[in-house]
Amino acid sequence: MTSSGTAVVDVHQLRVRFGEVEAVRGISFGVEPGAATALLGRNGAGKSTTMRVLAGVIPPTEGEVRVHGHDLRRDTIAVKRLTGYCPDVGGLVPRATPWEHLQLAARLRRLEGWEDRARRLLERFDLGAASHRVTAGFSHGMGRRMSVILASFHEPEVLLLDEPFDGVDPLGVEATMEVIADARARGAAVLVSTHLRELAVDACQEALVLRGGSAVAQMPASEMTGEAGADAYRALLD
Ligand SMILES: Nc1ncnc2c1ncn2[C@@H]1O[C@H](COP(=O)(O)OP(=O)(O)OP(=O)(O)O)[C@@H](O)[C@H]1O
């Protein structure tokens, strides 16, 4: 998982400071085409901050981030074009419907013939009947599902899903797993931040465990399965 030169996402010695707080303390990793990496760790470990940097929402304080060879600092717009991001909170316009969100995304990204794909995604995530309801009235899980749809709608080269399973029912989990599998099948790089170790293992083949802003382990996700995996994970967090 360390960068090999072929990685779609290539992070080298990333540091992020918010005043006195050092949220990310020099982490390095790469995600190859068709690969999915789980970002794991306790509250405050630095997962969302890492995701926000990759999404171009906040700048790195130090270090280098490359996406398909583009330097994130210099080519933020190019990187954003290649990326789909489901933030851990927010991201939806309360007074807009799912269909209006997708319409706007299609316009901004200049997508042609997007309507069938939009309908299929809404059905897959069981939001077909809610396509024309404003998102202000959505449950937490419905909002999460809509955010995953928006992140994956334009079939990005890099799919960033921050807590996509949080409060989502089994059907939504299954649909999200399909979106991750589809992205991998077309050669995208996927990063999934989650507290849910078992789902991380199902979704990803690599895991990066963060603690206090540092990477404490990088390993095949399969090493985190079952009771032995749970024990190994707990040991990394203690
Ligand atoms: N905008 C900010 N200003 C100040 N401190 C911040 C800011 N964003 C994050 N932090 C701090 O950075 C650290 C890492 O936060 P981050 O949200 O990245 O963790 P996380 O692993 O995603 O946690 P969680 O699992 O709770 O979502 C925390 O100490 C947090 O308080």
Q: For 37-65, how does the pLDDT look when each residue is reduced to its tens digit (9 = 90+)?
A: 999 999 999 999 999 999 999 999 999 99
Dist. CA 59 → ligand 1 center (Å): 14
The pLDDT of residue 5 is above 70: no
* Ligand 1, pocket residues at CB < 6 Å: 18, 21, 23, 41, 43-49, 88
What pLDDT score does 4 carry? Answer: 52
Rama region for 16: left / alpha / beta (φ>0; ψ in -120 to 50; rest): beta
The pLDDT of residue 204 is above 90: yes
Q: What is the mean pLDDT of residues 207-234?
A: 92
Q: Which of 14, 15, 48 to mutate to test the pocket of ligand 1 (most atoms within 8 A of CB)?
A: 48
**Listing from the earlier edge strand, what are the strands of the sheet with 21-31?**
21-31, 9-18, 62-67, 70-71
Residue nearest to atom 27 of ligand 1 (CA): 43
Q: What is the value of pTM for the model shown?
A: 0.95
